[in-house]
Amino acid sequence: MQSLSVFQHIALAQNDGPFNGGLVALIFGLIALFLFFAVVAFWLSRFKRCPSNRILVVYGKTGKQSARCYHGGGVMVWPVVQDYAFLSLEPLVIDIPLEGALSLNNIRVNVPATFTVGISTDPVLMNNAAERLLGLPPQAIREQAQDIILGQLRLVIATLTIEEINKDREKFMKLINENVAQEINKIGLELINVNIRDITDESGYIVAIGQRAAAEAINRAKVEVAQQEREGAIGEAQAVRERNVRVAEERALSDQGQKQAEQKKRVAISAYEAEAVTGEVEAKRNQEIAAAERTAETVAARKKAEQEQRIRVAQAESLAVDGENTSNAQIAESNAKLAEIRAEAKRRADVASAKAIEAIMIAEREQELAHLAKTELAPQEIEKKRIEIAAEAEAEKLRREARGQADAILARYKAEAEGIQKVLEAKAEGYRQLVSACAENPQVAPTLLLIEKLPELVAEQVKAIQNLKIDKITVWDSGRGNPLLDGKGARGTTADFLSGLIGSLPPVHELARQAGIELPGALGKVRDDSANGES
């Protein structure tokens, strides 16, 4: 039995009658309804809602931005061209076990702290987090934040002294919040809380500062107690002194009134009893003596009270001074101990600083040497190699040019030598043939050679007078000679001028004689006057 498709069944059902046609319409309706719900479910599945503790990041085709971030609400994520992911807003607790951070006064401190950070909901920071933290596990985010916080915390500590870190915690925390928040915002995180657990240092400087503060507080308390005791003793002595003075004044006033009353009484009695002078005088004298004795006793008692008062005041002041001196001694001793602690701490700090500076300088020296070798020595070495190669090439070029010039000069000299040699050989051959031709008369050969060179000799002799400038020569000659001047015969003036001109030249025969040759007879003979004894 062959299987039939759905459409074949529908076609058969349409051919069966009106009842089967309704069934087909029902099937089509169900299929259309199914497709409608499928499309609706698909689009509903592409609508993504963002929880309150997360950030929805839609990436892909999002316009000019690399991603769009949403906190709360929902958004439609288009299929194929877009996708989505979530960033958690749960806080991250990061422990920073900072040890050995260098402060401004070159003392290394330990500042263990706990930082609480989280991804920010600010639009700009959300985009930063989407670009740098999307898809990273919490541990990787924590490690990135830890590295950034650790560096910024060291930077903040390097700008503060130990006293500022230990006392001005508000400034310390403010700098930490500003620097750390500014840096972690670059990766989309915000700083939620900072907790500095404890601050210690390797040299014990902070402990020494606490001990110094406690000693100073104790010393101030002791000084204040001594001052209060001194003021109490002084007040008590002043009260006693004022009481004694007032009592003495009242007693004096009482005695004065009593004496005045007695004086009036005595005056009245004396006026009425003038007769009893002897008895009255005796009685009066005895009374005055008794009164004087009582007055002396009163003054003595007052002076004794004042003496005791002064002794007690002096004793109180002595006790106060002793207490103050004791307090000052304890303060001096505490200051001495504190100075020793400070000196020891400063010595250790100086040693640590010197070692740190030495290490820094060694590192900087190595860095400078490496930088110098990279930036200056390497180019200089390259330039040196280039100059050496260029110099070697130039030297090789000069050597080859010199070798070529030397070869050319040598070849030219060789050619000239060969030419001169051939000329000399030809001349020698000519001279040999000339001598062979004059074998019967050897003196003829030199004569012929001199005759050959005679034009050149004459040309050289002419050069001696060629620069003489003679504008015009006028000769007045009658054709007769002067018998008085020349006994041998008369010659004309012109003949004398020409003979003198020729006589200015060296004789040719003399030149031939000096050369050791004899001219032909056609050129005449030179008379030798020396043989006749003429000078």
Q: Does any domain span residue 437?
A: no
Q: How far apart are CA 201 and CA 162, in angstroms?
A: 9
* Among 364, 389, 414, residue at a domain's last position: 389
Its pTM surpasses 0.85: no
pLDDT > 90: what percent of the chain?
A: 6
Q: How far apart are CA 130 and CA 124, in angstroms?
A: 10
Do 366 and 497 lie in one domain? The reply is no
Q: How far apart are CA 316 and CA 243, in angstroms?
A: 18
**Backbone torsions φ then ψ of 133, nearest 5 degrees:** -120, -5
Q: Does any domain span residue 532?
A: no
**Tokens encoding 326:** 């004791």
* C-beta separation of 101 from 89 below 8 A: no
Do 343 and 256 lie in one domain? The reply is yes
Report how many domains make up the chain. Answer: 4
Do 227 and 195 lie in one domain? The reply is no
* C-beta separation of 342 from 208 below 8 A: yes
Q: Does any domain span residue 61?
A: no
Q: How far apart are CA 325 and CA 347, in angstroms?
A: 32
* Among 181, 202, 223, residue at a domain's last position: 202
Do 216 and 234 lie in one domain? The reply is yes
Question: What is the pLDDT, as a whole number, of residue 464?
Answer: 64
Do 194 and 322 lie in one domain? The reply is no
Q: Does any domain span residue 432?
A: no
Do 299 and 165 lie in one domain? The reply is no
Bridge-based pairing state of the strands 92-102 and 54-60? unpaired
Q: How far apart are CA 431 and CA 7, in angstroms?
A: 139
**The dihedral formed by the CA atoms of 284, 285, 286 and 287, expressed in degrees to the nearest 10:** 50
Domain boundaries, position 281: 208-389
* C-beta separation of 443 from 518 below 8 A: yes
Instruction: Give the domain CATH number at 117.
Output: 3.30.479.30
Question: What is the pLDDT, as a whole number, of residue 117?
Answer: 93
Do 194 and 212 lie in one domain? The reply is no
* Among 202, 229, 248, residue at a domain's last position: 202
Do 129 and 189 lie in one domain? The reply is yes
Question: What is the pLDDT, as a whole number, of residue 470?
Answer: 58
* C-beta separation of 165 from 109 below 8 A: yes
Instruction: Note the helical H segments in 168-204.
Output: 169-184
Question: What is the pLDDT, as a whole number, of residue 196?
Answer: 87
Do 243 and 368 lie in one domain? The reply is yes
Q: Does any domain span residue 71?
A: no
Do 304 and 183 lie in one domain? The reply is no
Per-residue pLDDT of the chain (535 residues; tens, 9 = 90+): 344 454 455 555 555 555 466 777 888 888 888 888 887 777 777 778 888 888 888 888 777 777 888 887 778 787 777 788 888 888 999 998 888 888 888 888 888 999 999 998 888 888 888 888 888 898 999 999 999 999 999 999 889 888 888 778 888 888 988 999 999 999 999 999 998 888 888 776 666 676 666 677 777 777 777 778 778 778 877 888 788 888 878 877 877 777 777 777 777 676 666 666 666 667 777 778 877 787 878 777 778 878 877 887 777 777 777 777 777 777 878 788 888 888 887 888 788 878 888 888 888 888 877 777 777 777 777 778 888 888 888 888 888 888 888 888 888 888 888 888 888 788 778 777 777 777 667 666 677 666 677 677 777 766 666 665 655 555 555 555 555 444 445 555 555 655 555 554 455 666 666 656 665 554 556 555 544 444 3
Question: What is the pLDDT, as a whole number, of residue 116?
Answer: 93
Task: Give the type of residue at 523.
Answer: L
**Tokens encoding 382:** 């390259």
Q: How far apart are CA 169 and CA 167, in angstroms?
A: 6
Do 192 and 221 lie in one domain? The reply is no
SS3 114: strand
Q: Does any domain span residue 55?
A: no
**Tokens encoding 476:** 């007045």
Sequence-distant (6+) residues with CB within 8 A of 79 are 46
Q: Does any domain span residue 419?
A: no
For residue 374, the 8-state DSSP code is I
How far is CA 88 from each of CA 71, 74, 127, 189, rounded to the nearest angstrom? 11, 16, 14, 11
Residue-wise pLDDT for 170-229, tens only, equals 888 889 889 999 999 999 999 999 988 888 887 766 666 766 666 777 777 777 777 787
Do 42 and 157 lie in one domain? The reply is no
Q: Does any domain span residue 423?
A: no
Which CB contacts under 8 angstroms, 24+ apart, belong to 68-76? 69/123, 69/126, 69/127, 69/129, 69/130, 71/121, 71/126, 73/49, 74/47, 74/48, 74/49, 74/50, 75/47, 75/48, 75/50, 76/43, 76/46, 76/47, 76/48
- The helix or strand, by DSSP H or E, that contains position 101, with its residue range, turns out to be strand 92-102
Question: What is the pLDDT, as a whole number, of residue 393?
Answer: 84
